Amino acid sequence: MTDKEFDLGMEQIRRQEKEGLRRIYEEYGVYIYKTVLSVVRSPQDAEDITSDFFLRLWQRAEQYRSGTGHKAYIAAIAHNMAVDFLRRQGQYNESLDDEETFAEPAANDRTDESVESRISFDEAMSRLTQKESEVVNMHIGLELTFKEIAQALKIPLGTVTWRYKTAIEKLKNTVKGGSAV
């Protein structure tokens, strides 16, 4: 969906036309869900937050400003809603150190090589940290640039690129049969 098509959808929502919301949902429903899931790690909670996201988009359509890059806009809203949910649950810890993700797996963490070779993409993604998964979903799923991701998440550009690089290495190792936990 182009910025112009998204702007048209938002204009329809402002006029209380459900068609605009339907088109945006069909285009971005899965990506919003995956963005939220990468933060909350609970499919049920991600579904609820995704529903709330589209309700919020409907209710606050007047706040959207066209020409500002709709993908970063919706990614930021989804991310913020997921983080707010975790904060309300007392489960969000901003001080989690990304360095923890570099710990070597214990020898008994390895599984049979034949099982590892058949690992699905979703299983591989589940081995990423919350922050890594979020960046991958935003970059690949929403096709956001690293700069747009940095703006949406309000973190430095270098942090975004580092998380993405680390995540891609973990995914490569996982798919090749490594245990990138």
| Residue 91, pLDDT score | 74
Kindly list the domain boundaries of the chain, sorted by start residue: 3-89, 98-175
Q: Which fold has domain 98-175?
A: Arc Repressor Mutant, subunit A (1.10.10)
Q: Letter for the amino acid at 42?
A: S
| Residue 90, pLDDT score | 84
Instruction: Pick 3-89's CATH classification: 3.40.50.300, 3.40.50.920, 3.40.630.30, 1.10.1740.10.
Output: 1.10.1740.10
Instruction: Give the span between the Cα atoms of 89 and 59, in whole angstroms.
Output: 24
| Residue 175, pLDDT score | 66
Q: Which among 14, 181, 168 has a CA at the least distance from the CA of 109?
A: 181
Q: Which among 177, 170, 176 has a CA at the least distance from the CA of 125?
A: 170
| Residue 33, pLDDT score | 92
Cβ proximity of 135 and 167 under 8 Å: yes
Per-block mean pLDDT, blocks of 10 residues, the chain (181 long): 91 94 93 88 91 92 84 88 89 48 35 43 74 85 84 88 88 64 44
What SS3 state is found at 55?
A: helix
For 151, the token pair is 């703006």
Burial of 71 (0-12, 13-18, 19+ CB in 10 A): buried
Instruction: Give the span between the Cα atoms of 61 and 21, in whole angstroms.
Output: 10
DSSP per-residue codes, 26-42: HHHHHHHHHHHHHHH--
